[in-house]
Structure 1
Amino acid sequence: MDSIKRKVIFNKPGGTASKNAIMARLTLPPEYVKALGITPEDREVIITLDEGKIIIEKA
């Protein structure tokens, strides 16, 4: 299994979010997205938090 190190991007959401709300984003390498078969037309994923690990699977 390949591993890479990335930084999480934090920012404040707009709209009707509370004033203390924070949003976190993470970019995925294109080769990982392609390997999962994620496309602009079929982009739904399932995200699971399991024992300190985030698991991303194609829906």
Structure 2
Amino acid sequence: MKRKMNQQTFQSWIRTAKDIGKQFIIPFVVFQAVRTILLPTSFDVLLLAIFILLALAFYFDWI
């Protein structure tokens, strides 16, 4: 028997996760940028690019 998922609860959970992500993405970008400047490895550059794209997605409401 399949349990029906409550859409209201699911959307509020996603909205909460999105709001938390908006609060933490800028400090992550700044920290990663400093780390990339001091010790530039390919992983750090890739992670910085992902964080910047995620920050842009939050800023322009793509997510």
Between Structure 1 and Structure 2, the one with more helix by share is 2
**What's the TM-score, normalizing by structure 1?**
0.20
Between Structure 1 and Structure 2, the one with more strand by share is 1
Q: Which of 1 and 2 has greater Rg? A: 2
